[in-house]
Amino acid sequence: KVRVYWHETQSLIEVKRDFKLIPPSTQTGSYLHVLPRALPSLAGMLYLAWDRRAFVLYWSDTSGILRSEDYDINDIKSWDVLFRYVYTVVNPLPDLPTRDPTMSIKSTGVLKPKWEINCNKQTFNASFLFGAPSHSRQTCVFWDDVKKRVIKDHWRDEDRRYNESEILEKIKGIPGTGQVDFSEVVKGPGDSGDLSTSKLHSGGKCTLKIAGRRVPRRTKQRSVLKSKGDPLSKRKSVRQILMAVYDGIEAHQACLKHKRVLHRDVSRYNLLINPVHHDTEFDDEQAPGAKFINRVLDPNEKCVKEEGILIDWDNAADLEEGDVSGALTERTGTPMFVSIGVGMGNIRRIAILRRKFPVLTGESKRLYAQAYGQETYDKYIKAVSESEMVKDPASPPQYRHRPYHDVESFFWVLVYELLIAWPEGNEKTISELASFLIHSFENHNFIKNGVDFRTDLLSKDAAFWRAILHPELECLAETLEEMCLYLSAEWAYWPELPEDHAHEAFKRLLLKAVLELKSNPIPLKGEVRIPSRAVEAIRGSSDVRENMEEPLLGRKRSSKKRSFADVEDVLESQQQKKSRGGK
């Protein structure tokens, strides 16, 4: 038998009796959508759809899929086009690169080959860890076990204001973040310059315009990182989750205060646990005053030892880079964790009642004041308590992505992790309401018009949280109630408050919860208590296509980073399928 591996794919051909019944852009395009998970060097691909009357050519790259006219197979000229298709597959056009020339397979004939990645500074022999779908940023991540480096590739939209490589360089040295070694723009074959999608069909000056839609021109970027960690799903206890979220908030606050960088995409996928920084030493001068949870709990801890680090800064905004008001009105992030305000792109006008700032007592207050100082402890309580209790809803502030929105995202990460947590030595014990909430989170998306289901959660008390959490986690119900209460206010109405007041509020609540679990951290199983998904839940998903593409990679999550415009395109596409009778 001759085996052909996915990474050897050069083109795809789809043959059907009548391809109008199932458009190749849907079926074969779906295959190409996930191909980077096996072929991370993919830059683009030409493919063919053929039925009994005609054939069609398609070009697919990270900017999308382009379709040719129909070529009648009875027309002799069509066979010339077919010949050119075969020739172009073998000899790609300079303006339509199909592969990243800086990447090659080091070992062949195996399911998980090593990739040789040639950078300007050095060459890596790396294992492939992760590949995102192709019709977006197509983020791919590798790990070189010898040189101890993570290599992250992605295709950047040239119209985006901020560049992750510049953000990474700016926050370099801040503990609690992934540390960059160097970044570069990947070069195309020969003297073609940067590896980019074609100017013919992508970018603002493209020749082939698509009415009513912006087709981004993307250029491949590469960052080499010195930091590595495990996904949050590898957590061993509830206490570890709380500590990781604490350190994520601390890192976020430090980047905001000292580097004026706002992350804007907090999710469970961007918070790593068990972090290791290779060839890195942290200096307290980079983030004066920042204290991570281990140093708060033990002042004698001399070295920075984070429980969690914040990664993936490709949606981050540099608040020092000119007028940022326009950029901060964008809606971007991971749908199931994005804050309610960012998801709607609006101010919650009825949330005009100011909430009390959390107050600590006993050991938690002593440790906090010892770590950050009594003055810092009093500062935020005083600022909030002296502000107006009620605001006028008739004069709402303008919507923009604010720091407290990201703190809210940390909260939704915590809620989701606690919902799915399954303590060791216990039955799964999941209520119908908890099951419904998990489905709702996983299928959640940006809201254009309507109500976000999570708005109602912010009004829930401890009794509600006891009813939906696993019985072993009931001790956290009051903490969640306090967090909900604080987030129920639309803090944009109080611009006079310190911009990091929500960070401080949540750190204090998390510190108290961490101390309460000192004697029993609540060990967790590797499994989670996620209910089986009904067909109705899958059909109601925010992105049906991706749900159907995940059979080998586990359960679908509403995890794809996207802007609201991206989601609008997906929903429009699904509506068109329904109108044609598709499912």
Confidence of residue 543 (pLDDT cuts 50, 70, 90): very low
Mean pLDDT of all residues in the chain?
86
Query: Which tokens in the block code for residue 158?
Result: 């040239």
Question: Helix 238-259 crosses helix 403-420 at what angle (to 10 degrees)?
Answer: 170
pLDDT tens figures, 7-16? 788 999 988 8
Rounded to two decimals, what is the model's pTM?
A: 0.87
Helix intervals (H) in 458-525: 462-468, 477-487, 501-516
Q: Give the Cβ contact number of residue 194 at 10 Å.
A: 12
Residue 302 binned pLDDT confidence (cut-offs 50, 70, 90): confident
156, 219 Cβ separation under 8 angstroms: yes
Dist. CA 287–CA 282, nearest whole Å: 9
Percentage of the chain exceeding pLDDT 70: 88
Q: Which residue has the higher pLDDT, 315 or 533?
A: 315
Determine contact, residues 36/17, Cβ cutoff 8 Å.
no
Say what the pLDDT of residue 207 is: 55
Please indicate whether residue 249 or residue 63 has the higher confidence score (pLDDT).
Answer: 249
| pLDDT value for 26 | 77
228-269 per-position pLDDT tens digit: 999 999 999 999 999 999 999 999 999 999 999 999 999 999
- Nearest 10 degrees: Cα torsion 551, 554, 558, 564: -50
> Which pLDDT value is given to residue 215?
82
- Interior CA angle at 412 toward 368 and 495, to 5°? 65
Residue 131 has pLDDT above 50, yes or no: yes
Q: Range with the lowest mean pLDDT among 117-126, 156-165, 249-258?
A: 156-165
* pLDDT 10s digits, 451-484: 889 999 999 999 999 999 999 999 999 999 999 9
Instruction: Identify the H or E element spanning 155.
Output: strand 149-157
How big, in percent rounded to 5, are the helix, strand and coil portions of the chain?
35, 20, 45
Could you tell me which residue, 424 or 281, shows the higher pLDDT?
Answer: 424
